[in-house]
Structure formats: C-alpha cells, structure tokens
C-alpha cells in the first residue's frame, strides 16, 4: 500500500510529449491526439503536448494541454520566423519547452535562453527548461557543466520567478535515434538530486522549494515505468515514443 506522500507525488508527475517535427501530417497529428484523448483523466491531467507550432490549435481543440517547442526572446515585433510569447498566450498555450539541446545545437545562446525564460514568465507561461551534459567523462567534469547550465537558467530571476520553472534533465548522449541508450534511473536520480541541491543551497538559499525535475532521453515502452516510479523523478519527457501510437499506448498503460 502506497503512503499518502508517494501517491501525491505520482499524481503530480508530468508526461511531456515533444513531437519535434516527427509528426508532419495533420491527419497523423489528429490520430495521435485521438489516442491521447482516450487516456484516463488522471493521465490527461498531467499530459503536455508540444507539437510543431502549426498544430498547436489541434491540441487545444482536443482539450489537451499544449506546450510550444520554442519562442522568440521578444514578446512581439520584428522577429520574422519566430513565434512570440504574446501569440502563445492568446492561443491558450500553457507551457514552453526551452533550452532543448536541438535548439542549443542550432545556436541558442545562454543570453537568449534567459531572455526567453523571462518573457515567458512575464506573460504567465510555464518554462520547461532542458539541461544536460554533452558527454560523460570519468573525472565527473559533467557535474560542472550541469551547474553552469543551471546557473544560466536561473540568472537574474527572483525567487518568485524561479519558483515557476520546471526542469528536464536531458543528457545529450541519450537523446534521439542515434543515442546508444537512455540514462539509467540511478544516473537520472543522481543528477536530479545534485541539481536540486545546487539550486537550493547555492542559487537560492536558504528556503527555496525543491524544483520539479523530469527526465528525458530515449524513454521508451521498456524503461518509462522505472523513471515514473522513482521517487526523485517528477515525470518523463518523450520524443519518438510519444508519436508512435502502439508504443505510446503500451507505455502509458504501464504508468
């Protein structure tokens, strides 16, 4: 029998579906959303769908919670090619996935990320910020990389603003079709606890609440439940698995 603390924790866990541009056809998008819509209210309550921008209204029309995959660092104005916070807010989008390694690889800088986070908070959108080391070395230098990313994320934020941020530990080496493996649950837990401790003791001492920290990177049908069941992992973020109908249905049935 689970204790109350554990049960509460599970009910608060997030399931983030990052479609990237893996879904390209609106018909396919509708099929996936129809599957999501059949999940239990408990699952749907914490399911956040981050489709390519043109499909955001399909998500909202399905009464599911939407998240944007990106946003302009400006609220509006001369930013051809970008979606702005103001537009997302008007479209009833609730979350924004920021700092994803695929965006960083396209040149997203720490300053731009900070600006995106601040603007999102200004209009009341919740930033879901991805961080994670590039590679793992035997001397543990990746812990420093992790700390640097965390201090960049929180730079210049008041405690009240910092409180709104949700973090995703997404080690680069575990993401996408070319990844050899996901992180293990133990590796994810270690980084999450390390990050939470760093934020609470060095960035916002002394009484900062423990930030929500989820895991992403090759989450699949086989390993999803073990991340989900970890007391230290506040949810899962999936790319590929969230777009494959049968796989995702089976995966969710195990949560």
Phi, psi for residue 51 in degrees, rounded to 5: -90, 175
Structure tokens at 114: 């900070």
At its nearest, how many Å lie between ligand PGA and the CB of residue 255?
15
Q: Looking at 55-63, 67-75, 85-93, 236-244, which segment touches ligand PGA (CB under 6 A)?
A: 236-244
Contacts with 237 (C-beta within 8 Å, 6 or more apart), sequence order: 14, 16, 18, 128, 130, 168, 170, 214, 215, 216, 217, 219
Segment interacting with ligand PGA (CB under 6 A) among 35-43, 51-59, 207-215, 216-224: 216-224
27: three-class secondary structure by DSSP: helix
Q: Is 65 in the site for ligand PGA (CB under 6 A)?
A: no
Which residue in 237, 248, 251, 252 binds ligand PGA (CB under 6 A)? 237
The two tokens of residue 141 are 């230098």
d(CA 27, CA 109): 35
- Examine residue 49 and tell whether it contacts ligand PGA (CB under 6 A): no
- Contact between residue 85 and residue 72 where contact means Cβ atoms under 8 Å apart: yes
Question: Distance between CA 131 and CA 194 in Å, rounded?
Answer: 13
Question: Please, is 221 exposed, middle or buried when counting C-beta atoms within 10 Å of its C-beta (0-12, 13-18, 19+)?
Answer: middle
Position 69 contacts ligand PGA (CB under 6 A): no
Binders of ligand PGA among residues 104 to 133 (CB under 6 A) are none
Token reading at 237:
């973020």
235 binds ligand PGA (CB under 6 A): no
Known catalytic residues?
100, 170
Apex 242 CA angle, 120 and 84, nearest 5 = 20
**121, 217, 233, 235: which one binds ligand PGA (CB under 6 A):** 217
CB of 219 to ligand PGA, least distance (A): 5
Q: Min. distance of Cβ 116 from ligand PGA in angstroms? A: 17
113 or 157, CB closer to ligand PGA? 113
Q: Which residue is nearest to ligand PGA (CB)?
A: 239
Does position 64 interact with ligand PGA (CB under 6 A)? The reply is no
Q: Cβ of 112: how many Cβ atoms within 10 Å?
A: 16
Q: Which is nearer to ligand PGA, 36 or 204 (CB)?
A: 36
Given the rule CB under 6 A, which of 57-65, 86-94, 119-127, 215-223 is the region that contacts ligand PGA? 215-223
Question: Which two structure tokens, joined as six digits, stand for 98?
Answer: 């920021």
Residues that bind ligand PGA (CB under 6 A): 18, 170, 175-176, 216-219, 237-241
């Amino acid at each position: 029998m689970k204790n109350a603390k554990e049960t509460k924790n599970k009910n608060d866990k997030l399931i983030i579906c990052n479609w990237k541009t893996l879904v390209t056809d609106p018909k396919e998008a509708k099929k996936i959303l129809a599957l999501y819509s059949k999940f239990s209210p408990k699952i749907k309550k914490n399911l956040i769908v981050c489709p390519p921008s043109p499909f955001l209204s399909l998500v909202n029309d399905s009464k599911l919670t939407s998240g944007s995959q990106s946003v302009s660092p400006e609220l509006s104005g001369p930013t051809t090619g970008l979606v702005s916070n103001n537009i997302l807010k008007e479209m009833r989008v609730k979350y924004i996935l920021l700092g994803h390694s695929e965006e960083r690889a396209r040149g997203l800088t720490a300053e731009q990320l900070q600006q995106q986070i601040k603007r999102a908070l200004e209009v009341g959108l919740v930033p879901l910020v991805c961080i994670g080391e590039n590679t793992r070395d035997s001397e543990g230098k990746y812990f420093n990389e992790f700390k640097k990313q965390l201090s960049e994320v929180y730079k210049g934020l008041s405690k009240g603003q910092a409180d709104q941020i949700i973090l995703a530990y997404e080690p680069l080496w575990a993401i996408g079709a070319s990844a050899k493996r996901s992180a293990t649950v133990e590796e994810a837990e270690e980084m999450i606890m390390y990050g939470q401790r760093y934020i609470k003791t060095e960035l916002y001492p002394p009484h900062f609440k423990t930030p929500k920290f989820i895991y992403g990177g090759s989450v699949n049908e086989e390993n999803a439940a073990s991340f989900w069941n970890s007391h230290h992992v506040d949810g899962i973020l999936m790319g590929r698995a969230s777009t494959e109908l049968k796989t995702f249905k089976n995966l969710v049935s195990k949560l």
